[in-house]
């Protein structure tokens, strides 16, 4: 098979220029040599996308080549469906996408026609959601009540779209005034509502994610402790709390988990856990980095995420995810060897 260097010359798309050696962390007692990777779950922000939210040509070509070679490539993201870049959704061969930290798994073949007619908001059709883990309205009210009285930005995500009020929209516009690409993502994936109660009285509004943004880490930690105290008293914890950034918190159903969603999709496709690779950089990626046959952390991931993975690649600015996919295409699995 062509080497990575030859493949770059053939495609005319330059990848990262510098050499690197992956760091190998063999913490899983598995016989990897008997299992070639058949499916790759890839996080988006901080992984496949750059810090400016760009999907670079070399990364796109690498994904296309992997799909052409028969690999199943699955975007696995904390974003809602409307926040997934169209340029990723419309790559031929991308059939499945996992959104809202594992709350929804979509079959895009059911969405394709209506997405093009109704862009940018997909219209969900029967059969398009293969797996879902949503929170009840009473549970959502309880969570929002626990965070009430605090100076916090609140968003809830329903049917692949985020909802917030006018105040939140103004705060976000001020926060990201110098980051137009982030604001474009927010405007594409959010709708403004006067309040959440109308959504929470609509039985068809299944809440997949709650996002809370705080002014300080201390404030976030105080709300986290309140939630922990409240839900630890219950026999069933019901919720999964993620801390993606120092002032942010995301809350989903306890079964909304990137790895559980990826694993269940693999089972549906007759792909075993050892045949799955996962690539990510964040707290919400740790379950799939630990559970997959190969967990690959980005070079820009924090140390506590890297410790969960088997291997560490380059950061997202140097397309570390694409390099690992190329390695899998060559060897059937990443092996920690040097890539020129």
Domain boundaries, the chain: 4-133+258-331, 137-253
Mean pLDDT of 198-210: 87
Distance separating alpha carbons of residues 335 and 260, to the nearest angstrom: 25
**By three-state DSSP, how is residue 42 classified?**
strand
- How many contiguous H segments (helices) and E segments (strands) does the chain have? 13, 15
- pLDDT of 114: 52
Which of 212, 233, 234, 232 has its CA nearest to residue 223? 212
Q: Provide the mean pLDDT of the chain.
A: 84
Is residue 231 very low, low, confident or very high in pLDDT (cuts 50, 70, 90)?
confident
Tokens 């942010």 belong to which residue? 248
Please say whether the beta carbons of 248 and 220 come within 8 A.
Answer: yes
Which of 278, 273, 199 has its CA nearest to residue 40? 278
Which of 309, 287, 183 has its CA nearest to residue 240? 287
- pLDDT of 228: 83
Higher pLDDT, 325 or 235: 325
Q: 61-77 b/e with 16+ CB inside 10 Å = b?
A: bbbbbbbeeebbbbbbb
pLDDT in tens, 244-295: 888 899 999 999 999 999 999 999 999 999 999 999 999 999 999 999 999 9
| CATH code of the region 137-253 | 3.30.1240.10
Is residue 177 very low, low, confident or very high in pLDDT (cuts 50, 70, 90)?
confident
Q: How much of the chain, in percent, has pLDDT values that exceed 70? A: 80
Question: Is pLDDT at 239 greater than 70 in this prediction?
Answer: yes
- The token duo for 245 is 């950034």
Question: Is pLDDT at 11 greater than 50 in this prediction?
Answer: no
Distance separating alpha carbons of residues 155 and 4, to the nearest angstrom: 43
Please say whether the beta carbons of 325 and 63 come within 8 A.
Answer: yes
**By three-state DSSP, how is residue 172 classified?**
helix
Which of 243, 190, 203 has its CA nearest to residue 80? 190
Angle at 253 between CA 250 and CA 254, to 5 degrees: 105
Tokens 């996962």 belong to which residue? 278
Beta strands at 96-99 and 104-107: parallel, antiparallel or unpaired:
antiparallel
Is residue 125 very low, low, confident or very high in pLDDT (cuts 50, 70, 90)?
low
Distance separating alpha carbons of residues 192 and 294, to the nearest angstrom: 40
Question: Is pLDDT at 175 greater than 90 in this prediction?
Answer: no
Question: Is pLDDT at 224 greater than 80 in this prediction?
Answer: yes
Distance separating alpha carbons of residues 94 and 84, to the nearest angstrom: 12
pLDDT in tens, 314-324: 999 999 999 99
- pLDDT of 135: 94
Mean pLDDT of 164-172: 91
Is residue 29 very low, low, confident or very high in pLDDT (cuts 50, 70, 90)?
low
Distance separating alpha carbons of residues 200 and 139, to the nearest angstrom: 10
**Overall fold of domain 4-133+258-331:** Rossmann fold (3.40.50)
Mean pLDDT of 226-243: 78
- pLDDT of 4: 33
Mean pLDDT of 151-163: 91
């Amino acid at each position: 098979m062509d080497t990575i260097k030859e493949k770059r010359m053939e495609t005319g798309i330059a990848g990262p220029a510098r050499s690197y050696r992956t760091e190998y962390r063999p913490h899983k007692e598995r016989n990897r040599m008997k299992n070639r990777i058949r499916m790759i779950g890839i996080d988006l922000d901080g992984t496949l996308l750059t810090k400016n939210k760009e999907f670079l040509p070399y990364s796109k070509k690498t994904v296309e080549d992997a799909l052409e070679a028969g690999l199943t490539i699955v975007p696995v993201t904390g974003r809602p469906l409307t926040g997934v870049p169209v340029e990723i959704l419309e790559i031929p061969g991308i059939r499945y996408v996992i959104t809202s930290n594992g709350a929804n798994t979509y079959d895009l073949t059911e969405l394709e026609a209506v997405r093009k007619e109704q862009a940018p908001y997909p219209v969900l059709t029967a059969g398009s959601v293969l797996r879902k883990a949503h929170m009840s309205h009473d549970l959502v009210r309880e969570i929002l009540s626990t965070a009430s009285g605090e100076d916090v930005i609140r968003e809830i995500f329903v049917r692949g779209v985020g909802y917030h009020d006018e105040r939140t929209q103004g705060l976000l516009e001020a926060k990201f005034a110098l980051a137009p690409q982030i604001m474009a993502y927010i405007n594409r994936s959010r709708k403004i509502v006067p309040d959440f109660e109308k959504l929470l009285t609509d039985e068809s509004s299944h809440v997949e994610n709650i996002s809370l943004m705080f002014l300080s880490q201390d404030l976030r930690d105080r709300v986290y402790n309140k939630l922990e105290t409240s839900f630890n008293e219950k026999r069933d914890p019901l919720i999964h709390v993620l801390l993606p950034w120092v002032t942010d918190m995301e809350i989903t159903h306890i079964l909304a988990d990137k790895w559980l969603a990826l694993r269940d999709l693999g089972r549906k496709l007759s792909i075993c856990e050892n045949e799955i690779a996962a690539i990510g950089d964040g707290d919400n990626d740790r379950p799939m980095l630990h559970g997959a046959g190969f967990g690959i952390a980005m070079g820009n991931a924090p140390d506590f995420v890297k410790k969960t993975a088997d291997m560490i690649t380059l950061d997202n600015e140097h397309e570390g995810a694409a390099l690992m996919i190329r390695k899998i295409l060559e060897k059937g699995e990443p092996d920690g060897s040097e890539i020129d």
